[in-house]
Amino acid sequence: MTLTEKVNITTGTGWAMGPCVGNTGPVPRLGFPSLCLQDGPLGIRFADKITSFPAGITTGGTWDKDLMRLRGEAIGAENRGKGVHITLGPAMGPLGKHPAGGRNWEGFGSDPYLQGVAAYESILGIQSQGVVATAKHFIGNEQEHFRQGPGAISANIDDRALHEIYLWPFQDSVKAGVGAVMCSYNRVNNSAACQNSWLQNNILKDELGFQGFIMSDWLAQMSGVASVLAGMDMAMPGDGLTWDDRVPLLGPRLTEAVLNSSVPIDRLDDMVTRIVATWYQLGQDKNHPEPNFSSWTKNTTGNIYYGSNEGPVGIVNQHVNVMADHPTTVARKVAAEAIALLKNDKKTLPLELPMKIGVYGEDAALAPGGANVCADRGCNQGTLAVGWGSGSTDFEYLVDPLSAITKKAQSYGGKVTAILQNNATDVIAASAKKQDICLVFVNADSGEGYIQWEDVAGDRPNLTTQKGGDDLVLAVANNCDNTVVIVHSVGPIIMEKWVNKPKVRSILWAHLPGMESGNALVDVLWGSTNPSGKLPYTIGKSLADYGPYAGVLYTENASPPQQDFLDGVFIDHRHFDANKITPRYEFGYGLSYTTFSYSNLRKTKKGSFSPLPAPRPGASAKPPTYSSKLPRPDQCTFPAGFTKINRMIYPYLESADTVKVGPYPYPEGYTKKQTPSQAGGAEGGNPALWEVLAEVSVVVKNTGKVAGAEVAQLYLGFPPNAPVPFPPKQLRGFEKVFLKPGESQKVTFALTRRDLSYWDVTRQNWVIPNGNFAVMVGTSSRKILAQGSLAGDGYY
């Protein structure tokens, strides 16, 4: 490739200058296409005839690895069908440090292990379909206030918390072979994530052995040369410091920087190799469809380059239906299997055949304007099925709870009375008295910070139900003997006002179920699916219970704003456990219509618990080498007779005269040969970290009368005299098993070296502490039903 061809691959063509939310420059001479980058984590944004899958948080709530994989496969298949090369998901940051964080729902839950397993399975699923997955947002992007631009917040994270909490799922992603990583908007330790050399060059590319490419989040780049030298490989969407400005920081500026020697040519070659190799590795050189949809219009024809505001005109939407049968089944299954049954007094659920059913609350039905009433789902109206922002989709349809419940009731002659106005509490109270069963719907919504709905500026301002949900529940529960509360939520809510009311018999936590919402709920309500969801985060009794550092920073405390992650490795359930705070419902909690017993805990050591992993292996392959000869500047100007498309970003120089050859000082240390990390050595880090050093097994038995699935969870208590403090319990394994009544099954958990280690900031490596590990297996983080210990090997 020529210099300008190479540069073109690294730079977006500009906002809306192609069918997708991000489009790279092509190399027509060699048949290398413009790559289509499209949101998002739960399905294809801005497209028709697609599935709106349950959100990440819902998927995490299934605790089901097979379903996580299947959902990934289905998302991958739909993206491929629409011609997407690179899907902008899964999201694993925010991880959920702040329970009110606006985008937590895009990821899988507030625990690094759960988040990591779900990311791993999703990526394997997506990439099995020939679509590149993107692990995002790297890293520390825990809140939406002060999310971007010159005033972007600095997430100040210590090295241990970085490794054990926030980086953990990215490590799993690299282990899964993820093709792309998106660097985030925020600063980390006061250096912008996309120009943070320590994080990108050292941690991601050396220590974790990441072989793919790093793209910027949309306009997250704060510089040109500095970002490139710090390891960023692709600028998205190609514009510069402000939205749609067409003043690129790469593109022609990168051409110039290579020509004047401020960016070494081998760095550009590395960027391009990472992108092109990923394209080959995913088989996209063979029959990958061209994008057949437009993010910018639903019309069939329109301007090919929408953002140019002029022709050529052509077919921009082929309306290809990619909703194969299996995605819809998967969507319904994930939504149903995620529902957590939090309370079920007097075995109120499953419903038998109640004749008089009251359905209350706006969240039960579609908004009057339909499921797509607000752009990017940026308002809370009608039943809540996804949060808002780039991580949402347009709904092809949305099965709302009321329709599905009505259909079910009609099938046996039951009668549904629905009152949807949340504030009609008097009418609701009167109606509730007359019902056999009352289903009351409440919710809480949030999303990406470029949209504000009422007082929810991305992050939630509090953890209460929205739209008067608490009063609504009370109006029902004070009057109806059999009240079932159904919650659709982006995260935890405080339910202290009503949770212990005696007539609140049952609570179903349905998360963000996606388009099959109502069907999945009916499956659980009437028991064709026995609930098996477990909470992917802790539900506290107050926000304060999450600890002094769990709050979103809402007001500027410095310029740029500073968020010190002083909770370290003690977030969510780790904080509750360490401080002996009783949550309302603990992490990993969820009931079933049946019961399970645990027995026969067995532990087998498979390897030595030596403190340090084996030394980093040598490189198994040599990077390719290329000629370092630079072209003449006049070979990098617009070719003669070239017709420009209005507002398109090109790699060419306007004039060769702007190139002033160096020398330019590189940042200090840039030319120094760095010592590779001992924690590295392969994709996912040192392969020794993935060696299984112990196995734990337990027998789970269904002791009840109906079939159902149980999620057995393994928590480790680290040795008490270790040099650093540990949370009392760290999740290190989970398996979901489906059991018929009376059936039992052995469940086995494999513990890797990483699972048994902490990040030693002095040794800069994963270290197994000396001493005995407590092994705790149970049905939630607080209901341990089998325990034992694993002895260390006496190392000091």
75 lies in the binding site for ligand BGC (CB under 6 A): no
Cα gap 162→165, rounded to integer Å: 6
Q: What is the CA radius of gyration of the chain?
A: 27
Q: Which CB, 24 or 506, lies closer to ligand BGC?
A: 24
* Residue 682: strand pairing partners: none
390 lies in the binding site for ligand BGC (CB under 6 A): yes
State which of positions 30-69 bind ligand BGC (CB under 6 A): 39-40
Strands of 275-419, DSSP E: 301-303, 313-315, 340-344, 356-360, 415-419
CA distance between the termini of the chain: 55
Q: Which stretch of DSSP H or E encloses residue 329? A: helix 325-338
Given 3-state DSSP classes, what are the helix, strand and coil percentages for the chain, each rounded to the nearest 5? 25, 20, 55
Smallest gap from Cβ 88 to ligand BGC, in A, equals 4
* Residue 188: strand pairing partners: 155, 191
Q: Which stretch of DSSP H or E encloses residue 75? A: helix 65-82
363 lies in the binding site for ligand BGC (CB under 6 A): no
CB atoms within 10 A of CB 685: 28
Tokens of 787: 């325990």
- Which one of residues 16, 84, 88, 271 is an interface residue with ligand BGC (CB under 6 A)? 88
Smallest gap from Cβ 217 to ligand BGC, in A, equals 5
Q: Which CB, 447 or 547, lies closer to ligand BGC?
A: 447
Smallest gap from Cβ 249 to ligand BGC, in A, equals 17
At residue 475, φ and ψ (nearest 5 deg) are -60, -40
Which residue type sits at 33? P
Burial 85-94 (b: 16+ CB within 10 A, else e): bbbbbbbbbb
Cβ atoms of 573 and 111 within 8 Å: the answer is yes
Q: How many residues bind ligand BGC (CB under 6 A)?
A: 8
Smallest gap from Cβ 763 to ligand BGC, in A, equals 35
Tokens of 75: 């998302």
Q: Single out the residue of 322, 377, 326, 331 nearest to residue 516, CA to CA.
A: 331
Smallest gap from Cβ 106 to ligand BGC, in A, equals 8
Q: Single out the residue of 572, 427, 592, 585 nearest to residue 499, CA to CA.
A: 585
Smallest gap from Cβ 181 to ligand BGC, in A, equals 12
Q: Which residue has the tokens 């018999």?
A: 505
Q: Single out the residue of 220, 233, 236 nearest to residue 263, CA to CA.
A: 233
Q: Which CB, 52 or 532, lies closer to ligand BGC?
A: 52
451 lies in the binding site for ligand BGC (CB under 6 A): no
Beta strand 596-605 with 773-778: parallel, antiparallel or unpaired? unpaired
Sequence-distant (6+) residues with CB within 8 A of 611 are 767, 768, 769, 770, 795
Smallest gap from Cβ 230 to ligand BGC, in A, equals 19
Tokens of 727: 């949370």
Q: Which CB, 60 or 361, lies closer to ligand BGC?
A: 60
Q: Which CB, 40 or 611, lies closer to ligand BGC?
A: 40
Smallest gap from Cβ 150 to ligand BGC, in A, equals 16
> Does residue 217 have an active-site annotation?
yes
State which of positions 124-153 bind ligand BGC (CB under 6 A): 136
Smallest gap from Cβ 238 to ligand BGC, in A, equals 12
Cβ atoms of 365 and 419 within 8 Å: the answer is no
Q: Which CB, 21 or 432, lies closer to ligand BGC?
A: 21
Q: Which CB, 390 or 752, lies closer to ligand BGC?
A: 390
Beta strand 437-444 with 483-489: parallel, antiparallel or unpaired? parallel
Smallest gap from Cβ 40 to ligand BGC, in A, equals 6
Binding to ligand BGC by CB under 6 A, coded x per residue (else -) over 258-277, reads --------------------
Q: Which CB, 183 or 341, lies closer to ligand BGC?
A: 183
Q: Which CB, 242 or 600, lies closer to ligand BGC?
A: 242
217 lies in the binding site for ligand BGC (CB under 6 A): yes
Q: Which CB, 55 or 777, lies closer to ligand BGC?
A: 55
Cα gap 645→756, rounded to integer Å: 56
| Catalytic one of 39, 64, 172, 217 | 217
Smallest gap from Cβ 115 to ligand BGC, in A, equals 16
Cα gap 274→268, rounded to integer Å: 10
Task: Map residue 278 onto helix, strand or coil.
Answer: helix
CA count, 13 A, side-chain hemisphere, 73:
14
459 lies in the binding site for ligand BGC (CB under 6 A): no
Q: Single out the residue of 619, 664, 684 nearest to residue 267, CA to CA.
A: 664
Smallest gap from Cβ 662 to ligand BGC, in A, equals 34
21 lies in the binding site for ligand BGC (CB under 6 A): yes
Q: Single out the residue of 464, 467, 355 nearest to residue 414, CA to CA.
A: 355
Which residue type sits at 193? A
726 lies in the binding site for ligand BGC (CB under 6 A): no
Cβ atoms of 205 and 181 within 8 Å: the answer is no
Q: How many residues does the chain have?
A: 796
Interior angle at CA 20, CA 125 and CA 149, nearest 5: 100
DSSP code per residue over 129-163:
TT-EEEEEEETT---STT-SSTTPPEEE--HHHII
Cβ atoms of 704 and 742 within 8 Å: the answer is no
Q: Single out the residue of 170, 18, 1, 5 nearest to residue 86, CA to CA.
A: 18
218 lies in the binding site for ligand BGC (CB under 6 A): yes
Smallest gap from Cβ 237 to ligand BGC, in A, equals 8
Cα gap 544→540, rounded to integer Å: 9
At residue 403, φ and ψ (nearest 5 deg) are -60, -45
Q: Which CB, 450 or 652, lies closer to ligand BGC?
A: 450
Q: Which CB, 37 or 70, lies closer to ligand BGC?
A: 37
Q: At what angle do helices 265-281 and 3-10 cross, to 10 degrees?
A: 60
Q: Which CB, 447 or 518, lies closer to ligand BGC?
A: 447
Positions annotated as catalytic residues are: 217
Residues near ligand BGC, by CB under 6 A: 21, 39-40, 88, 136, 217-218, 390
